[in-house]
Structure 1
Amino acid sequence: MTDSPRPQWLYRIVPIRPEMVGAPTDEEAAVVEAHFAYLVSLRDRGDLILAGRTQEDVGTWGITIFEAADEAAARGVMQRDPAVAGGVFEATLFPYAVAVARDGLAD
């Protein structure tokens, strides 16, 4: 028998400076690059389910859906995101459950 799946979480991110996506400063661009690398590391260790953003230059927002043992661990994942820790994105955490997925992630 397989282990039960870990709880799923979603954090929604919104740029602190709305124009940042279309016209980032050098510092913001570096932080966003570190944010992307962080997401890749979550994927590589098997925690990330998916991450992405809407495609507007202004008014965009993103989501990260991942697994973590509990809310404290999930909050830690969100707070360690370089773009959240660096103050480039504001983030909000939600408990989440994938209901239907193309690749069979849902139970």
Structure 2
Amino acid sequence: MLAAYSSRPPIRVPSPQGVECPMKYFLCRFIPPGPDFLKTMTPEQKQLMKAHGEFLQAMLEQGGVVAHGPVADPAGGWGMSLFQMADNESADDVRAIVAEDPMIKANIGARYEVLPMLQLRMRA
């Protein structure tokens, strides 16, 4: 549940028949504590990663995240999340949300890069 991770109200995305609401998108890159982290996690870190996935899944179900998942980068795995925010929100608002991620709150060296999308084209 989103409420377990953030005090922000759920983000509601209007239907195509609803009122138009300008949105901004942010690509978030989740960088784990090290390039081999997924192979060397302790049992406690595995629990944190599970909570990290639950955090992002809750955001997806609430409408704040459009997509998320791991990226198989030969240099070391990382995670991608695409956040959809109201037009009056900024990268700082996204940073405040991802600061609630259990992996970030655990202070074990994981971090996010928050990058604004200059333009996003999507299928209807």
Query: TM-score, normalised on structure 1?
Result: 0.80
Partner of 1:27: 44
Is 1:86 the counterpart of 2:106? The answer is yes
1:47 to 56, 64, 75: 64
Q: Secondary structure at the match of 2:29?
A: strand
How many residues were matched structurally? 103
Deviation at 1:55? 2.4
Measure the CA separation in 2 of the matches of 1:27 and 1:57.
25
Q: Secondary structure at the match of 1:87?
A: coil
Q: Secondary structure at the match of 1:59?
A: coil
| Structure 1 unmatched runs, 5+ | none
Measure the CA separation in 2 of the matches of 1:93 and 1:56.
18
Query: TM-score, normalised on structure 2?
Result: 0.70
Q: Secondary structure at the match of 1:99?
A: coil
Q: Percent identity?
A: 21
Deviation at 1:30? 0.7
Larger mean CA deviation between 67-76 and 44-53 belongs to 67-76
Deviation at 1:58? 6.3
What is the aligned-residue RMSD (CA, Å)?
2.1
